[in-house]
Amino acid sequence: MKQQKIDILITKLFKSELTKNEAKVLEKWLIDESHLAYFNKFVAINHLLNTKEKFNYRQSLEQIKKQRLKANKKRRQNGVLKYAAIIIVLFGIGYLLFQSKQPIPPINKIVNKEASPTIIDNAITSGKSQAVLTLADGVQVILNKEKKYKQEHVRSTGEGLVYGQASAEKKELKYNYLTVPRGGQFSILLSDSTIVWLNSDSKLKYPVEFIEGRPRQVELLYGEAYFEVSPSEQHNGDLFVAIVNNIEIKALGTAFNIKAYQDENNIYTTLAEGKVELTTPVSKVTLKPYQQATTHPNHENITVETLSSLNELLWRKGEFSFRRKPLKDIMKVLSRWYDMEVIFNSPEVENIEFTGVLGKEQSIEEIMIIIRRTNSINYEINHKTLTIE
């Protein structure tokens, strides 16, 4: 069974719209433990976003064993709502749903199924590992899985760059640039063992080697990057500093994300773990885990928000997770990964909200089927342009 059909059935389950036959199909599919794992993950991301607790797959499996007999006795009860409730109990997630302080957000009405999408010429493909490395002497190197690259201080794995450890006698900084185009992603293991993931349409400036006794400084010129920083204790106390548009972010053995796209006014810094100090020309804040700092144009002020989850950072793990996001924001994210142009024929459509998790390996048609099934929209694909109606 195709994955998008399963996603639709699970979504209908939580909307209490499953028919009796659909419930039987879903229950049969869930017998496979790999399918159950997907189901639990889908539920955790799409319907339990307001909790910081990790979903316990092992506990869920144990509950299946204990409750299967009880659930089988109730399976014959009449009514779609009762049947759906049995499945929820059967797979051990009902208790989490009802403990949630916030109700599951309603999903917009189903699109008119009589109207079909128009596919004229689909040239839109999902992104892949690719980047351009610019060396200190200006030479550019194309990086991808098909091309191997290795020099004295650096080598490519096809998905990322790996730099050797800094030499003690290093006295001069030489910078490299890594540019990830639209439709691409890449990572870097810096010479201090800090790992940086770069999202589509991003560019990072960094030293080939850091100099002992100086801050370990890199600069995100634009785009989005996730940092797992090597602790200062392992580098004689040398701080790690990320610069973006005159904003300085100091970190001590931590993980954080910076989003600073050229087509967006604000800059977002999200702390996953540890502690960072964010400084602009006019203000300074210290972030705790799960906090996101929004820096507004001209750095007039910084807004700090505590997030209920870090699902929006799943991009580096191959997923896009959205909760009540308007389509205009979602399509901005997808357009970078699929390297496509998106046109809205109606301003009202731009503000339609979507909640769900999408895989980066899925085709654009699979993505749009999922979005279309839960929203009253239609669309057309012509070459590399997606038009939403």
**DSSP output for 323-370:** EEEEHHHHHHHHHHHHT-EEEES-HHHHT-EEEEEEETTS-HHHHHHH
Tokens of 106: 């309603």
CA end-to-end span of the chain, whole Å? 29
Burial tier of 76 (Cβ tally within 10 Å: 0-12, 13-18, 19+):
exposed
What are the residue boundaries of the structural domains of the chain, listed by start? 3-99, 118-124+313-388, 128-307
Give the pLDDT score at 98. Answer: 33
| CATH class of the domain at 128-307 | mainly beta
Give the pLDDT score at 44. Answer: 56
Helix or strand or coil: residue 376?
A: coil
Cβ distance 204 to 188 under 8 Å? yes
Radius of gyration for the chain, computed over Cα atoms and rounded to the nearest angstrom: 24
∠ at Cα 190 (187, 191), nearest 5°?
Answer: 155
Cβ distance 245 to 278 under 8 Å? no
Give the pLDDT score at 77. Answer: 42
Name the β-bridge partners of 250: 241, 277
Using CA atoms, how far residue 207 sits from 151, 192, 358, in Å, is 15, 10, 35
Give the pLDDT score at 383. Answer: 95
pLDDT in tens, the chain (389 residues): 666 677 778 777 765 667 777 777 887 788 776 677 677 666 655 544 433 344 443 444 444 444 444 444 444 444 444 444 444 434 444 333 333 333 333 333 333 444 688 999 999 999 999 999 999 999 999 999 998 899 988 999 999 999 987 666 667 899 999 999 999 999 999 999 999 999 999 999 999 999 989 999 999 999 999 999 999 998 989 999 999 998 999 997 799 999 999 999 999 999 999 999 999 988 999 999 999 999 987 767 899 999 999 999 999 999 999 989 999 999 999 999 999 999 999 889 999 999 989 999 999 999 998 898 877 789 999 999 999 98
b (16+ CB within 10 A) / e for 163-179: beebeeeeeeeeebbbb
Helix or strand or coil: residue 112?
A: coil
User: How many other CB atoms are found less than 10 A from the CB of residue 117?
Assistant: 16
Give Cα 63 distance to the centre of its chain.
30
Give the pLDDT score at 158. Answer: 95
Tokens of 266: 């604000």
Round to whole Å and give the CA distance between 356 and 107.
10
b (16+ CB within 10 A) / e for 9-34: bbbbbbeebbeeebbeebbebbeeee
- Say whether domain 118-124+313-388 belongs to CATH 3.55.50.30: yes
Closest CA to 368 of 125, 184, 117, 200: 117
User: How many other CB atoms are found less than 10 A from the CB of residue 107?
Assistant: 18
Give the pLDDT score at 49. Answer: 41
Tokens of 40: 């639990």
Helices vs strands, H then E, count in the chain: 9, 23
Helix (H) or strand (E) holding 270: strand 267-273
Which amino acid appears at position 158 of this protein?
A: G
Round to whole Å and give the CA distance between 385 and 389.
13
Round to whole Å and give the CA distance between 381 and 125.
12
